[in-house]
């Protein structure tokens, strides 16, 4: 489970949107052939409808969720070990229940382990004891190396988001909440569509802000003016980059 600190909490939505992966033990309530089970797993891959279970934190209304992949790792009788990659907000216990309902025998989720949340997988996870020891070393000896291995840069949270890289002269204006104009862009990723959530980055690869694309990649490349990204959540502190603009001035309006 990723734990976000200070202003990095503004990236929570970006992490949730990039999906999760689970290892799940599903227990069937009756005998089912391997062939029929595989057919059910294939059927419940892609976009599916889910009604959240009775014990849940959201309204019990039908919702569309995506199962990116579902793989049977191992099977022993009625116990089926699955690896499931899905969109955020998917209830795996409801997935197991619905598969069992389709099979006609019933099923439930016996055990569950989350192995990935957004760009973070369990191979890079740390324990609370690791955190305690890293903080202790830093406070007592000023040793940062261990702490840097535990607390990762905020840029890792937007690993899977499309990115727009801005000129140094535009950074501080964005930190003050200005939207990003085409003139302030140095380079950008391919495949950006209108409405996509975008990470606004410096040329050094530092995260400045999150925003919503107002133009596609092609439109940005073909334009000389206009707002390319509507700034939504500012991450970088004001004054990190020198201010080269004045609010309300023509230079401010034309250069960012």
pLDDT exceeds 70 at position 130: yes
Could you give the residue ranges of the DSSP H alpha helices within the chain? 12-17, 34-43, 92-103, 128-141, 145-150, 168-175, 217-222, 250-255
Q: What is the dihedral of CA 10, 12, 14, 17, to 10 degrees?
A: -150
pLDDT at 253: 44
| Right CATH for 19-117 from 3.40.190.10, 3.40.50.460, 3.30.70.3190, 3.90.209.20 | 3.30.70.3190
pLDDT exceeds 90 at position 109: yes
pLDDT exceeds 70 at position 247: no
pTM of the model: 0.79
Q: What is the mean pLDDT of residues 117-123?
A: 89
Nearest to 148 by CA among 134, 166, 159: 134
Overall fold of domain 161-255: 2.30.130
Which ranges in the chain are annotated with CATH 2.30.130.10? 161-255
């Amino acid at each position: 489970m990723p734990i976000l600190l200070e202003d990095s909490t503004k990236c929570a939505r970006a992490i949730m949107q990039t999906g999760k992966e689970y290892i799940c033990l599903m227990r069937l309530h009756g005998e089912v052939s391997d062939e029929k089970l595989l057919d059910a797993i294939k059927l419940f891959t892609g976009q599916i409808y889910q009604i959240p279970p009775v014990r849940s934190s959201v309204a019990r209304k039908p919702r569309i969720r995506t199962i990116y992949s579902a793989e049977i790792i191992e099977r022993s009788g009625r116990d089926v070990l699955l690896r499931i990659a899905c969109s955020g907000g998917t209830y795996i216990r409801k997935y197991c229940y619905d598969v069992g309902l389709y099979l006609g025998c019933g099923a439930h989720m016996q055990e569950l382990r989350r192995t990935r949340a957004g760009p973070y997988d369990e191979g890079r996870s740390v324990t609370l004891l690791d955190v305690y020891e890293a903080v202790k070393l830093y406070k007592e000896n000023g040793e940062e190396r261990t702490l840097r291995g535990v607390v990762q840069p905020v840029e890792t949270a937007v690993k899977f988001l499309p990115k727009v890289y801005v000129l140094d002269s535009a950074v501080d204006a964005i930190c003050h909440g200005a939207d990003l104009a085409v003139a302030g862009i140095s380079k950008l990723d391919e495949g950006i569509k209108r409405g996509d959530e975008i990470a606004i980055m410096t040329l050094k690869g530092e995260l400045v802000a999150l925003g919503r694309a107002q133009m596609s990649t092609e439109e940005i490349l073909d334009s000389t003016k206009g707002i390319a990204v509507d700034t939504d959540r500012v991450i970088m502190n004001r004054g990190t980059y020198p201010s080269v603009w004045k609010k309300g001035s023509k230079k401010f309006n034309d250069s960012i």
